């Protein structure tokens, strides 16, 4: 793993350009063979990687195992999108798809294996090469994944890893041929400015402020259990986490009571414990930031329900008790801003139109869910809600590996990730004319 110094970035980009010249000429079936070998290495070393996920980012072990399974599934899903003749040069007037070149990958801490793998593998399958800048807390995880890649493929030049922070990310983006990033809105705006100025493609997944609508005819117990797990698992550090619950006013009190019960059934504790669902936040700074938002909501006289006692754990002050905030002000900070922590905001809807308005009433648009037994309301939800991922009678959290994953509004820039969307981003069209 190279450092993020400017000289190291220059060297990495130069080496990647040389590697791209050769890699794009490798047959797609050979690319696929090498990347499947990488998947086998990840499976072989799953236990070691799970331990790193638990130790370095505090991910509960049950979800660390889920992440490893998702990474393998993403490789298989990307392989299914490969077409045997995708690199064939037309012999008559027609079109083809060409790789972009050097892909700058900026990855977050919360899924430090699955998110990068879900980008690296399709990028390489379509003939690109990748320079990966992991989040600083996930540096050891990235280094181990790179070692497994090099062992599996014997082509370490195809994937380089740069360690560093915001400055390293900016420098990488100023030299890449395309950028794929998962991160905050602030990071997305910075990436958009750099990529737009350079006329290069950008794919940005920027998180969400995801809402579930719970209507009067729903199974309230099931909706409460699903919303609680979706909100609080892994301390709410998932971009698809259930941030808001919009409740039909006629069942509001009953739902809140069931939500509290369901939330208190979740296990909060040591990430290495098999039973744990809620561990610490990634850092003390993160915990302080989220707690400050909760304190401001309390000061604004919103009802704040703490669901557990505070704890001093192995990660010091990074622990924060799961919290429900009941807020009927749609413009409040706690409603409008994504906390990225164990906080669920409950909003009251007087009628169906208000529920849709509240659901759409934030700048983000990654995921949304509806809990109801009414086909008519489901149809209306699917037609009117402005988000990239819509779910029926299940939490906003989690997503399939073979469907495009991307947000609308402030939750996404450029093509989605995964499934058929991989080809849309990692290649571009080129028309060829023969006389």
The C-alpha atoms of residue 157 and residue 127 are separated, in whole angstroms, by 13
Give the other-Cβ count within 10 Å of 4's Cβ. Answer: 21
For 124-136, what is each residue's pLDDT tens digit? Answer: 999 999 999 999 9
**403 within a domain of the structure (yes/no):** no
Residues 51 and 163 in one domain: yes
Pairing of strands 323-326, 178-182: unpaired
pLDDT at 310: 52
pLDDT at 88: 77
For 49-79, what is each residue's pLDDT tens digit? Answer: 999 999 999 999 999 999 999 999 999 999 9
Which of 76, 172, 83 has its CA nearest to residue 117?
A: 76
Residues 276 and 128 in one domain: no
* Eight-state DSSP code of residue 90: P
The C-alpha atoms of residue 33 and residue 393 are separated, in whole angstroms, by 39
Residues 132 and 20 in one domain: yes
**149 within a domain of the structure (yes/no):** yes
| pLDDT under 70: residue ranges of the chain | 1-4, 309-316
Q: Which tokens is 86 given?
A: 């995708």
pLDDT at 83: 81
Residues 118 and 265 in one domain: no
Q: Which tokens is 198 given?
A: 């350079």
Pairing of strands 202-205, 178-182: parallel
Q: Left (φ > 0), alpha (ψ -120 to 50) or beta: where does 101 sit? A: left
Residues 423 and 363 in one domain: no
Count of CA atoms in the C-beta half-sphere (13 A) of 331: 0
**404 within a domain of the structure (yes/no):** no
Q: In terms of residue numbers, what domain contains 146?
A: 2-206+411-432
**400 within a domain of the structure (yes/no):** no
Q: Which tokens is 99 given?
A: 């790789």
Which of 334, 326, 365, 346 has its CA nearest to residue 209?
A: 365
Residues 23 and 149 in one domain: yes
Residues 160 and 200 in one domain: yes
**405 within a domain of the structure (yes/no):** no
Tokens 């290649």, located at residue: 427
Instruction: Give the alpha-carbon dihedral of 101, 104, 110, 111, to 10 degrees.
Output: 20
> Do residues 169 and 189 touch, judged by C-beta distance below 8 A?
no
Which of 103, 101, 128, 106 has its CA nearest to residue 116?
A: 106
**124 within a domain of the structure (yes/no):** yes
Residues 202 and 223 in one domain: no
**279 within a domain of the structure (yes/no):** yes
CATH number of domain containing 384: 3.40.309.10
**406 within a domain of the structure (yes/no):** no
Residues 68 and 152 in one domain: yes
Q: What separation in angstroms does the CA of 260 have from each of 176, 225, 380, 409?
A: 48, 9, 29, 31
Which of 116, 34, 125 has its CA nearest to residue 423?
A: 125
Residues 104 and 154 in one domain: yes
pLDDT at 3: 63
Residues 197 and 49 in one domain: yes
Report the predicted TM-score, pTM, of the whole model to 2 decimal places. 0.95
Residues 192 and 242 in one domain: no
The C-alpha atoms of residue 325 and residue 382 are separated, in whole angstroms, by 27
Pairing of strands 323-326, 94-99: unpaired
CATH number of domain containing 18: 3.40.605.10
Q: How many domains does the chain have?
A: 2
- Identify the bridge partners of residue 368 per DSSP, sorted by sequence position: 211, 390
């Amino acid at each position: 793993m190279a450092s993020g110094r400017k000289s190291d970035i220059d060297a990495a980009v130069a080496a990647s350009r040389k590697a791209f010249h050769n890699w794009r000429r490798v047959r797609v079936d050979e690319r696929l063979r090498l990347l499947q070998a990488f998947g086998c290495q990840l499976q072989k070393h799953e236990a070691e990687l799970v331990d790193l996920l638990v130790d370095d980012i505090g991910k509960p072990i049950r979800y660390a195992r889920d992440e490893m399974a998702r990474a393998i599934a993403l490789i298989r899903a990307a392989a299914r999108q490969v077409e045997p003749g995708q690199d064939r040069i037309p012999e008559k007037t027609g079109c083809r798809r060409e790789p972009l070149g050097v892909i700058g990958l900026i990855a977050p801490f919360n899924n430090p294996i699955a998110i990068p793998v879900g980008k690296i593998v399709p990028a390489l399958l379509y003939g690109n090469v990748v320079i990966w800048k992991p989040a600083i807390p996930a540096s050891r995880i990235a280094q181990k994944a790179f070692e497994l890649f090099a062992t599996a493929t014997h082509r370490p030049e195809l994937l380089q890893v740069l360690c560093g922070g915001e400055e390293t990310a900016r420098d990488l983006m100023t030299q890449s041929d395309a950028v794929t990033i998962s991160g905050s809105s602030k990071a997305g705006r910075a990436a958009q400015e750099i990529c737009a100025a350079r006329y290069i493609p950008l794919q940005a997944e920027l998180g969400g402020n995801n809402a579930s609508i719970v209507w009067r005819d729903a199974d309230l117990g099931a909706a409460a259990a699903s919303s609680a797990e979706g909100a609080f698992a892994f301390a709410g550090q998932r971009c698809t986490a259930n941030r808001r619950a919009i409740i039909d006013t006629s069942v509001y009190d009953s739902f809140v009571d069931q939500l509290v019960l369901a939330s208190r059934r979740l296990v909060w504790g040591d990430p290495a414990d098999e039973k744990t669902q809620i561990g610490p936040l990634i850092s003390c700074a993160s915990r302080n930031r989220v707690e400050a938002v909760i304190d401001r909501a309390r000061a604004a006289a919103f009802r704040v329900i703490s669901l557990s006692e505070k704890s001093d754990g192995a990660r010091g002050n990074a622990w924060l008790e799961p919290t429900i905030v009941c807020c009927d002000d749609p413009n409040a900070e706690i409603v409008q801003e994504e906390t990225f922590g164990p906080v669920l905001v409950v909003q009251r809807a007087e009628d169906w139109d208000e529920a849709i308005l509240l659901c759409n009433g934030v700048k983000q648009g990654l995921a949304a869910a509806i809990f109801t037994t009414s086909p008519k309301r489901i149809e209306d939800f699917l037609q009117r809600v402005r988000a990239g991922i819509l779910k029926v009678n299940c939490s906003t959290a989690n997503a399939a590996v073979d469907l495009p994953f991307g947000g609308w509004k402030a939750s996404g820039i450029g093509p989605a990730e995964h499934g058929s969307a991989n080809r849309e981003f990692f290649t571009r069209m080129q028309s060829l004319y023969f006389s």
